């Protein structure tokens, strides 16, 4: 008798518009979700989070389940995205850091030398077992809505560790990169390993897709990105692709117009685009980077600031983006960056309705 | 007898490398200056400014003369840039604002309605007479080193006024732009008038070139830039070109890779490029935007963060940028953004020496 293969908890959501579009197929309507849809724009989120620090919240399964599901219930978006934070796996592995209100993540002991890189703790699946538990709760809670897993990419995590917190100019990070490339690559190698462990945990727990956020990659030139970042990101996508259960891999950063081609050749199935580059232009750049691959799939790219400009302007911009998205091999409608905390959630609901109405196949 | 033409105080600096390069000629060496070269990286600046608030400093002729000249004395740069602040003309015209340490400019009463735009005071030459006086002092102080005048572009000034201070996402600014285009254009029209008055005062006082900073234009898509910003910037360059004394016009913003062509067709003679786009790529984009014009002249583009990476990395990057700059019709060496306050000034001096040594015509 052979040992039975482990049963995957993943739901069969083959026809879900998000997954169809991400694979370059023809969905029943253009799928739509919003980066940071689970967050401060929702009163029910603020109520659920009240008094619970961010990183503790990310490791509390029932709370993660609740806030992840809230925007699905309210807006009818085509995907949930796991409520988490970019620095969560570092915190879970034992790196001394905290998220300070009004500032962002603050790292107790910045990592700037080879010895400090070597001493950085490695993430194990046990560290993020609670995230796996949250996903198991969500698979029931979400019914037939896909769940997107989430991790921060090595460059962005490295910047937090090297600078000791959020940075406008990333000067210590870039100095390390250029002055001590071996130390740099050792650091990014560790952070890529962290991302692989974190994403594998999520995939094995049943997420339907993953998004790797490199929030700050747009601070780099293409030359720097190719030499110092892309190999590590490519390793992440390659290793999670081998870990069974093919799930679509989305890659996103802000201000990455110069980097789009290189972000695709990391192995991403879908490349997120911010509002600065029209989706048809982005599709051309992505196609040029991989001329023998299928037509690229894009995600984006409504400027989150436009959500403050009134219904007429929002509708006009949504229609323009849908038209430009048709130039790609597939389009996941999204913002070009995260939902701003002061956004009126009713506007988001209307965007979902409009995207669905404009793209429904009769 | 005809009335004699007013005598221009401008020095005859025809052969100065900065001015030769800006006009597309062949200078004796590639000129180099640094955005924010007059500033906190210099101990002599910190000493001179001690106890003097920023906006007051910008309106004190002797102090402006001193801090503007400091980096010329120390680094041997090929140009001085008038010490000023982007919001100075607003303050001088009577807008209630202050520069708050650690925050930036804070506007007492944000400008968000047609009535508030109409009530915005207009700048007159008398408001900035002290800046003219500072320039007159500098013409003697600087000997044969060119002096670059300085103004903030309408979009960036509008963002301060609409948001009430520095903004990460410019959501109120973009909302006004998209929701009330007439109010938006009235605001930018006023701010363009302010820039014209401020730059004319500087030109008539004898500056040798001007730089128009649109610090935050990179937050816009090309479509937005063309519709909501470019016409006003073009008007500024057109009106100052007509005001006599042809001085080279430099235009710069950060993160403007998508906008470079449109920034050239505003009438700029030189387009500044941040570190994200190599100068040869930038030259191609600029040439494509104006195919019948002479080869474009670029300014840039060493990443100011690289100045923290040690001499070897700095020298390597300087040489790469000089090589890439040869693809343009002219190159003004500069950083890709302003000098960071914690920069070692000795590194800047060595960059000047290296640029001169590498490009000297024997």
Q: How far apart are CA A57 and CA A210, in angstroms?
A: 20
Query: What parts of chain B have a pLDDT lower than 70?
Result: 1-6, 244-245, 362
Q: Enter the DSSP assignment of B220.
A: S
Which chain B residues are closer than 8 Å to A301 by Cβ?
Answer: none
CA geometry: angle B44, B46, B48, nearest 5 deg:
65
Chain B residues within 8 A (CB-CB) of chain A? 169-175, 177-179, 218, 220-223, 255, 257-258, 275-278, 303-310, 312-313, 317, 337, 340, 342
Q: What domains does chain B contain, in order, with CATH numbers? A: 17-359 (3.20.20.210)
Give the phi and the psi of residue A207 in degrees, each rounded to 5.
-65, 155
Which of A249, A253, A252 shows the shortest CA–CA distance to A239? A249
Q: How far apart are CA A243 and CA B186, in angstroms?
A: 58
List of residues 6+ apart from B52 with CB closer than 8 A: B60, B63
Q: How far apart are CA A175 and CA B308, in angstroms?
A: 5
Q: What is the pLDDT at residue B243?
A: 77
| ipTM summary value | 0.94
Chain A residues within 8 A (CB-CB) of chain B? 169-175, 177-179, 218, 220-223, 255, 257-258, 275-278, 303-310, 312-313, 317, 337, 340, 342
Q: What is the pLDDT at residue B261?
A: 97
Lowest mean pLDDT among A2-6, A11-15, A102-106, B324-328: A2-6
At A66 the three-state DSSP class reads helix
Q: How far apart are CA A257 and CA B255, in angstroms?
A: 10
CA distances (Å), origin B243, targets B6, B8, B230 = 13, 12, 20
Is A49 known to be catalytic?
A: yes
Give the phi and the psi of residue B269 in degrees, each rounded to 5.
-85, -30
Q: What is the pLDDT at residue B4?
A: 60
Q: CB contacts < 8 Å between A and B, how many?
A: 97
Half-sphere exposure of B123 (CA within 13 A, CB side): 24
Q: Enter the DSSP assignment of B32.
A: B
Q: Is B158 exposed, middle or buried (0-12, 13-18, 19+ CB in 10 A)?
A: buried
Pairing of strands B80-81, A97-100: unpaired
Instruction: Please determine, for residue A244, whether its predicted confidence score (pLDDT) is greater than 80.
Output: no
Q: What is the mean pLDDT of residues A12-21?
A: 96
Which of A106, A91, A109 shows the shortest CA–CA distance to A55? A91
Would you call A304 and B220 a contact, using CB atoms and an 8 Å cutoff? no
| Tens-place pLDDT, residues A297-356 | 999 999 999 999 999 999 999 999 999 999 999 999 999 999 999 999 999 999 999 999
Identify whether A233 is preceded by a cis peptide bond (ω within 30 of 0). Answer: no
Q: Enter the DSSP assignment of A126.
A: G
List of residues 6+ apart from B55 with CB closer than 8 A: B85, B87, B88, B91, B98, B99
Tell me what the pLDDT averaged over chain A comes to: 96
Q: How far apart are CA B14 and CA B33, in angstroms?
A: 18
Q: Which stretches of A111-180 are assigned E, i.e. beta strand?
A: 147-152
At B142 the three-state DSSP class reads coil
């Amino acid at each position: 008798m052979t040992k039975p293969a482990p049963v995957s908890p993943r739901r069969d959501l083959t026809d879900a518009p998000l997954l169809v579009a991400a694979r370059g197929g023809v969905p029943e309507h253009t799928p739509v979700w919003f980066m940071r849809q689970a967050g401060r724009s929702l009163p029910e989120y603020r109520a659920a989070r009240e008094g619970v620090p961010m990183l503790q919240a990310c490791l509390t399964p029932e709370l993660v389940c609740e806030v992840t599901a809230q925007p699905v219930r309210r807006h009818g978006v085509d995907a949930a995205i796991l409520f988490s934070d970019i620095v969560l796996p570092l915190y879970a592995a034992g790196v001394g850091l905290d998220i300070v209100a009004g500032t962002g993540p603050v790292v107790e002991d910045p990592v700037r030398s080879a010895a400090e890189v070597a001493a950085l703790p490695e993430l194990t699946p046990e560290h993020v077992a609670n995230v796996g538990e949250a996903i198991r709760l969500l698979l029931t809670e979400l019914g037939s809505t896909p769940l997107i897993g989430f991790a921060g990419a090595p460059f962005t995590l490295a910047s937090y560790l090297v600078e000791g917190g959020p940075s406008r100019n990333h000067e210590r990070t870039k100095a390390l990169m250029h002055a001590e490339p071996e130390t740099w690559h050792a650091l990014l190698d560790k952070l890529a390993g962290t991302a692989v462990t974190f994403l594998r945990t999520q995939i094995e727990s049943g997420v339907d897709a993953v998004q790797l956020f490199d929030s700050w990659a747009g601070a780099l030139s293409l030359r720097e990105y190719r030499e110092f970042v892309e190999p590590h990101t490519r390793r992440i996508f390659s290793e999670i692709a081998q870990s069974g259960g093919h799930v679509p891999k989305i890659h996103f950063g802000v201000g990455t117009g110069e980097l789009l081609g290189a972000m695709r050749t990391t192995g991403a199935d879908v490349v997120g685009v911010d509002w600065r580059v029209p989706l048809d232009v982005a599709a051309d750049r992505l196609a040029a980077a991989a001329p023998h691959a299928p037509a690229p799939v894009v995600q984006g790219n409504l400027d989150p600031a436009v959500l403050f400009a009134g219904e007429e302007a929002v509708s006009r911009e949504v229609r323009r983006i849908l038209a430009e998205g048709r130039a790609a091999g597939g389009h996941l409608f999204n913002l070009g960056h995260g939902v701003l905390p002061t956004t009126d959630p009713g506007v988001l609901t209307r965007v979902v309705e409009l995207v669905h109405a404009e793209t429904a196949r009769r």
